[in-house]
Structure 1
Amino acid sequence: MDRRQFIGSAALAAALMPLAGGRGAMAAPRGRLLPVALNKGDTVALVSPSSAVHDTFDLQLAQEVMEALGFEVRTGAHYAARRGHLAGTDAERAGDINAMFADKAVKAIICTRGGSGAARLLPLLDYDVIRANPKVLLGYSDVTALHSAIHAKTGLVTFHGPIGAGSWNRFNVDQFRRVFFDRELMEYRNVVDAGDELVPRKNRTITITGGKARGELVGGNLTVLTAVAGSPYLPDFTGKILFLEDVSEAPYRVDRMFSTLKLMGALDRIAGFVFGECTDCDPGEGYGSLTLEQILDDHIKPLNIPAYRGAMIGHIRQQFIVPVGGRVEMDADAGSFRLLEPVFQG
C-alpha cells in the first residue's frame, strides 16, 4: 500500500469510526445519579417538551390527575404555548425544563405529552443544573430523547411511563403508587387475563432467546433513540439491558432502525433485550414485507443474549413505569425483569 492509499484508508476509517461503535458514537459511562424520593403533598411540574396538545382541555386533565395523585401542581411558563406542531419555541420549551430542575420546591417533572420535537432541546438543556438537582422526570415516546440525553450527560435515573395527558387507569395509577410512593423493588411481569378464551392471548410475552441477564436499563422509543445516533446524547450501551417500543411504523422502517443500531455497534454491546409493543406496526395485506417477528429474529437472535418481546411497554393503555438507568435482572424465559437496587435517594 502506497502513502496515498494509506492516508485515504486511514481517513475513511476515522470517518466511519462513530458508525462502527467507537467511543465517539456514545457518551462515556457516568456514575448513576438517583433522584430524590417523591411523596404525596410534594410539588410537581407539568412541562411540554415536544408537541402541543390538540385541545387545551388535555392540560386541565393532566393537572387534575396530578392533584388526584396528591400533589401540588406548578406549570411551565410555556407549557400551553404553540409554534406550529410544537409546544412553543425550542428556547421556551428547554427553558421550562431548566427552570423546573432549578426550582428547589419542585420534586418531579411530568411531561404533558410526547409527539415530536424533544430532540431539538438537547443542546439547550443545562446539564449542570440537572445534575445538581436530581429529581423525577416522567414521560415516554418522544420524551425518550430527554431520557437518553439526561442519562448520558448526568447519569440521572429517569422514568419511562405515562404522560400527564394520557390514560391514568387503575393499572397505571397502581404502577405510579408502587414505584414512587411505596418505592418497591418492582418486578415487571405482564398481567395476563384469559377473558373468555380457552388460553390467554392478550399481554403474552414471547421468548426470543432464553436465559437471564443483569444490567442497567437503557432505551425507550426506537424511532427517537435511533434519531440521536452518533450524537453525544446517546448513553453507552455496554452491558446494558435495552428496552424498546414504537408505534405506527412500517416494518421496513423498523428493520432500518434496527440496522442502524447494529451498524453503530450498539446491539453488539448489550447484555439483554426487552421489546415492548410496536402498536400498529403490522405488515399490511399480502406479501412483500418482513414481519416484526422476522426482524427480531434477524437482528436480535444472532446476538445470543437473553431476549423476549411483548412487555407492557409502549403506546398502550396499561404500561409499566420503567426506570431508565435502573439496575435490573431480566428473565427471558419468564418474560419479566425486576429491580435489583433502589432508584431513589435515601
Structure 2
Amino acid sequence: MIDRRGALQGLAAGAALLAAPALAAPPPVRKGPRLKAGDVVGLIEPAGFSDDVYRLDYVSETIRAMGLVPRPAAHLGQKYGYLAGEDRARAADVNAMFADREVKAVFAVRGGWGCARILPWLDFATIRANPKLLIGYSDITALHMAFAARAGFPTIHGPNASSAWGKSSWEPFRAIAFDAATPTYANPPSLDDRLVPRQWRTRTIKGGKAQGRLLGGNLTVLTALMGTPYLPDFRDAILFIEDTNEAEYRIDRMLTQLSLGGILGKLKGVVFGQCTECVNTGAGYGNFTLSEVLQQHLEPLGIPAFEGAMFGHIANQFSLPVGAMAELDADAATIRVLEPAVA
C-alpha cells in the first residue's frame, strides 16, 4: 500500500497521473550485425598473453575456417609481465576494433587475467555507438559485464578464439552469430559405457521455469567487480556462473559475497555450469562438496536453479548471449534463448 499524508494529497497525485502523458516505451536494444562469410573480425588479447607465436597462427586459421577474415589488433602478441601488453595498449585495441566499421565482431584470443584493469580506459561512447559481438569466456567476463552495464547490447559468452572449436562449440556459435537463431541448450547424451551415465549430468536444485536477461560468466571475475560501476543490474535476471581451480570453500565464499551484496536476492533463476578441478584435495572428511555448497546458497532463494550445464573451462561449450532474454527450465535442465543476439 502506498503511504499518503492525506486524502487530498492522494487525490491530487492521482489527478496528476491521469493528466500526465503516457510514458514512452524504452527504445529497443541495438544489436550487432549477424556474421556472414567474408566478414572481417577482430582478434584481441585484453588479458593474458599468448606464449607461442604459432598459437596465433593457429587462431587465424581457425577464424578463416569459419569463413571469416581475421584482423589482428595492433598490440596482439605483445607481452608485459603476465599481460598481453600494457593496460592502455590493450584498451586501445578494444576501442579500435569497435571504432572500425569494417570489423563486424571481436574475438578474444584467450582469457587469463587483466580485463578488469583496462575498464577505465575503454571508450564506452564509441563502443555503445558501434554494437557488435564480443566473443570469449573466463576473464572476458569482465568485458561482458561492463558492456552489459555501459553499452547495452548482447555479447557472447562462448569459446575464445584459441579454444578447440569442435563441432559441439562451432554449431551453437554459428546458430547464434550467423543465423540469428534462438536455440534451446541442453547437455548432450553421455557417451559413458555405463548402466547409469555419469558424464555431463545435471542436477535440479530447485524446479520450475523462469525468464530473464542472461547475465554472468566466471564467478571469480564477476565477484571481483562488485562495488564497481562495471557490473549491470541483476534485477529479474537469470544468472549463469562457472569457475575453474577453485576449492569448494572459495565457491562458498564468492556465493556468500553475491548474497550479502544483494545480487542473489534479485534473480529469477540460476544456472551453474562446469567447475573444472574445483576440489580441495587436502580438506579431509569434513569438507562440503560443490553440490552441497550450491544447495546451501541457491535452494533457499526459492527460484529455479540447476547445475551441470555445458559452459565453463571445458573443450566444448554453449554460446550464451549475455544480455539477451532467455528461459530457464530447471526440471529439464535447459536454457532457451528467447531473442536473437544479432540484428
Please state if 1:235 is matched with 2:232.
Answer: yes
Deviation digits for residues 27-85 of structure 1, max 9, x if unmatched? xx996332121111100010000000121211111111001110111100001100000
Q: Report the residue type matching 1:319 in the other structure.
A: Q
Deviation digits for residues 2-41 of structure 1, max 9, x if unmatched? xxxxxxxxxxxxxxxxxxxxxxxxxxx9963321211111
Deviation digits for residues 322-346 of structure 1, max 9, x if unmatched? 000110111000000101112211x
Deviation digits for residues 121-163 of structure 1, max 9, x if unmatched? 1111111101110001000000000000011001110000101
In structure 1, the partner of 2:68 is: 71
In structure 2, the partner of 1:281 is: 278
In structure 1, the partner of 2:342 is: 344
Q: Report the residue type matching 1:161 in the other structure.
A: G
Cα distance in 1 for partners of 2:220, 2:28 equals: 26
**Count of residue pairs brought into register by the alignment:** 317
In structure 1, the partner of 2:213 is: 216
The DSSP-based 3-state class of the residue aligned with 1:171 is: helix
Pairing partner for 1:330 from 323, 328, 331? 328
In structure 1, the partner of 2:307 is: 309
Deviation digits for residues 197-243 of structure 1, max 9, x if unmatched? 11221111110000000001000000000000011100101000000
Does the aligned pair in 2 maintain the 1:30–1:154 contact within 8 Å? no
Cα distance in 1 for partners of 2:85, 2:27 equals: 32
Please state if 1:272 is matched with 2:276.
Answer: no
Change in Cα spacing, 1:30 to 1:158, as seen in structure 2 (3 Å) is farther
Does the aligned pair in 1 maintain the 2:34–2:179 contact within 8 Å? no
Q: Report the residue type matching 2:232 in the other structure.
A: P
Question: Which ranges in structure 1 are unaligned for 5 or more consecutive residues?
Answer: 1-28
Change in Cα spacing, 1:48 to 1:201, as seen in structure 2 (3 Å) is same
Q: Report the residue type matching 1:108 in the other structure.
A: A
Does the aligned pair in 2 maintain the 1:30–1:155 contact within 8 Å? no
Cα distance in 1 for partners of 2:253, 2:286 equals: 15
When normalised by structure 1's length, the TM-score is 0.89
When normalised by structure 2's length, the TM-score is 0.90
Does the aligned pair in 1 maintain the 2:176–2:340 contact within 8 Å? no
Q: Report the residue type matching 2:259 in the other structure.
A: K
In structure 2, the partner of 1:11 is: none
In structure 1, the partner of 2:51 is: 54
After superposing the two structures, state which structure 1 stretch, 100-109 or 180-189, moved more. 180-189
In structure 1, the partner of 2:177 is: 180
Please state if 1:123 is matched with 2:109.
Answer: no
In structure 2, the partner of 1:148 is: 145
Cα distance in 2 for partners of 1:50, 1:194 equals: 35
Cα distance in 2 for partners of 1:63, 1:72 equals: 8
Map 1:84-163; keep pairs closer than 5 Å. Answer: 84-163=81-160
Does the aligned pair in 2 maintain the 1:283–1:290 contact within 8 Å? no
The Cα of 1:113 is off from its aligned counterpart by 0.1
The DSSP-based 3-state class of the residue aligned with 2:156 is: strand
The Cα of 1:305 is off from its aligned counterpart by 0.2
Cα distance in 2 for partners of 1:65, 1:112 equals: 11
Larger radius of gyration: 2
Cα distance in 1 for partners of 2:234, 2:105 equals: 26
Does the aligned pair in 2 maintain the 1:31–1:155 contact within 8 Å? no
The Cα of 1:183 is off from its aligned counterpart by 2.0
Does the aligned pair in 2 maintain the 1:138–1:159 contact within 8 Å? yes
After superposing the two structures, state which structure 1 stretch, 204-213 or 282-291, moved more. 282-291
The DSSP-based 3-state class of the residue aligned with 2:316 is: coil
